[in-house]
Amino acid sequence: MPVESIFHRLEALLPKVQKPIQYVGGELNSTVKDWDSADVRWALMYPDAYEVGLPNQGVAILYEILNELPGTLAERTYAVWPDLEALMRAEGVPQFTVDAHRPVRAFDVLGVSFSTELGYTNLLTALDLAGIPLRAADRGEEDPIVLAGGHAAFNPEPIADFLDAAVLGDGEQISIAISEVIREWKGEGSPGGRDELLMRLAESGGVYVPKFYDVEYHPDGRIKRVAPNRADVPWRVHKHTVMDLDEWPYPKKPLVPLAETVHERFSVEIFRGCTRGCRFCQAGMITRPVRERSITTIGAMVENGIKESGFNEVGLLSLSSADHSEIGEVAKGLADRYEGTNTSLSLPSTRVDAFNIDLANEFSRNGRRSGLTFAPEGGSERMRKVINKMVTEEDLIRTVSTAYSQGWRQVKLYFMCGLPTEQDEDVLGIADLAKKVIQAGREATGSRDIRCTVSIGGFVPKPHTPFQWAGQADHETVDRRLKALRDSLRGDKNYGRAIGFRYHDGKPSIVEGLLSRGDRRVGAVIKAVWEDGGRFDGWSEHFSYERWMSAAEKAGVDVDWYTTREREENEVLPWDHLDAGLDREWLWQDWQEAVTGGEVEDCRWTPCYDCGVCPTMGTEIQIGPTGRKLLPLTVV
Ligand code: SF4
């Protein structure tokens, strides 16, 4: 039976809301398949506004892959702004997809990609608007399977009550495998209802179904154990790793937004994973090992993506793009190819060395020499050793001098505050460093027209990292240190005006910390916050710390216990049954070495130090150089 579009009902509401265009769909390269042509149907959600969600690579890739599968269709849905939410509630309009404006509840799967935990309340809004019971236990045969993915899914416990399932790691292959399980089950007449479907998914070992695991607690609140409550369900669920990125050259047909979005460019992921070993970086840890896309595939994807989308900016993405083994060739080849055209290239630059400046020079051949970003992360040498960010002050000064002398006028430096073992002087060290950067720029150019922006983020300890046991700094400490830093920067007549300072207060990091390392008991807080009007918690204008703290108090959840408390080695962590491949002993040892300033090299260039990922996951580091060329070219 075809499912009717709700667009005629939505259309009447659109003149009354902000940015109505974000809800209409019809973007270049969007796909609407005939409902009856498919027997497996996915609604893919990015739980934030369209302007943030549309450029998300994970959703875009799965959208294409699933729509290419015969008998499968995928449509997109995003979080609606509170103005439209109110009207939808008043008029009884359900959560819809932007592609064919079909009600989300009619789909087999609602797949939600969480880049950050601050999207959890938006999940609840979408479920509620869709008419899907919030709690998985209350769902029936007519409701979709609510499935989480993305980095936050590596600890989905705080939203376990609201999820039917979660998937860890790369989604390309597992989304196809899940579609096949659903197809087979539906083809057999849906035996055993959704319980059996979930069981089939759980038995595969690649899908985590929270309801098949019971959590027991010690009297003091720590977890005693997490154990399967059904036979045939694995004790640990493993992450998925795509080993040959060249086999998955997506997006092939990039979505071109109708409304303004945070990134308007064609992005090519040039490698996945990172083995630099920064101890705070969850993305680096959970995406190991490094798998490079080859220079020829990158060249072909750029060429095809521009042709299919008309974008005039190409971003080469990864966790540390300058580390691709053939990035020099890629940069030169693409800069040559697009020289004189209106296509510009960008590379998120974070590596602190002269090579990075050479790359930036290549990439800016066709565009403006605007700003360069470096991420020393820690303000003092000691702090940088603790986080395993091997950048010396000398490296940084040498690099920025080169940048300024080659015509770059704006340098952005990214740091974190609240890192483990951090003292006041480590944060004040940021001011000294910034002043030295300006001084170096003035000396290199002979000009006083030099700018540097210091941007500071609050550190949040994340699951599956060596800092997963660390006590998070309380927000008062973070705010006090940031205020002292601001005073030190602004109070300096010689440098103050040359240094911009961007930071957030420490409160949102505490909520993020609660959600990152929370367990199932934190779900009650999320629900209470949502009931109290919590929406778009990643947006400072919507975020309310007081709302979160009052909900935690009502739910009997001690926020400090989840955030500022340091964990013992043997404490069962809420995500211990979810396997990112990292050896727990290695993580603990690395945490101990962090405290004593021990450094770990990058296993791309040095021997394996047994973090555990490759043997556990059956993977390996995959890097070049391939020695191949970016050519041939067909279109310039
Ligand atoms: S197992 Fe060895 S080679 Fe593989 S990511 Fe870990 S340290 Fe690197």
pLDDT in tens, 276-287: 999 999 999 999
User: Above pLDDT 90, what percent of the chain?
Assistant: 81
Which of 614, 616, 620 has the most ligand 1 atoms within 8 A of CB, as the residue to mutate?
A: 614
Question: By the 8 A CB rule, do 324 and 366 touch?
Answer: no
Mean of pLDDT values over 264-273: 94
Q: Give the tens place of pLDDT for each residue, 475-500.
A: 999 999 999 999 999 988 888 899 99
**Residues facing residue 272 across a β-bridge:** 291
Residue 334 main-chain phi, psi, to 5 deg: -70, -40
Nearest to 67 by CA among 87, 97, 103, 37: 37
User: Averaged over 442-462, what is the pLDDT?
Assistant: 94
What is the structure's pLDDT at 346? 84
Ligand 1 atom with minimal separation from the 273 CA: 5
CB 510 within 8 A of CB 541: no
pLDDT of 1: 66
Nearest CA to ligand 1 atom 3: 608
Q: Which of 287, 603, 620 to mutate for ligand 1's pocket (most ligand atoms within 8 Å of CB)?
A: 603
Amino acid at 187: G
> What pLDDT score was predicted for residue 635?
47
More confident residue, 196 or 338: 196
What is the 420 CA–ligand 1 centroid distance (Å)? 24
Residue 632 has pLDDT above 60, yes or no: no
The 3-state secondary structure of 438-480 reads: HHHHHHHHCCCCCEEEEEEEECCCCCCCHHHHCCCCCHHHHHH
> Which atom of ligand 1 is nearest to 290's Cα?
5
- Share the mean pLDDT of the chain: 94
CA of 300 to the centre of ligand 1 (A): 30
Question: Which pLDDT belongs to residue 205?
Answer: 85
What value does the mean pLDDT take over residues 388-415?
89
Pocket of ligand 1, candidates 239, 613, 616, 623: which has the most ligand atoms within 8 Å of its Cβ, to mutate?
A: 613
Return all residues near 344 (Cβ < 8 A) that are at least 6 apart: 312, 313, 314, 338, 363, 366, 367
Residue 577, pLDDT > 50, answer yes
Q: What is the DSSP letter of 169?
A: B
Cα angle, residue 505 at apex, residues 499 and 511 outer, rounded to 5°: 145
User: What does the pLDDT look like over 119-147, one tens digit per residue?
Assistant: 999 999 999 999 999 999 999 999 999 99
Instruction: Compute, in angstroms, the gap from residue 274 CA to the centroid of ligand 1.
Output: 10
Q: Model confidence at 9, in pLDDT bands (50, 70, 90)? A: very high
**Residue 141's CB: how many other CB atoms inside 10 A?**
9
Residues with CB under 6 A from ligand 1: 275, 288-289, 603, 608-614, 621
> Exposure string (b/e) for 191-209, b if CB count within 10 Å is 16 or more?
eeebeebbbbbbbeebbbb
Quote the ligand 1 centre to 342 CA distance (angstroms). Answer: 41
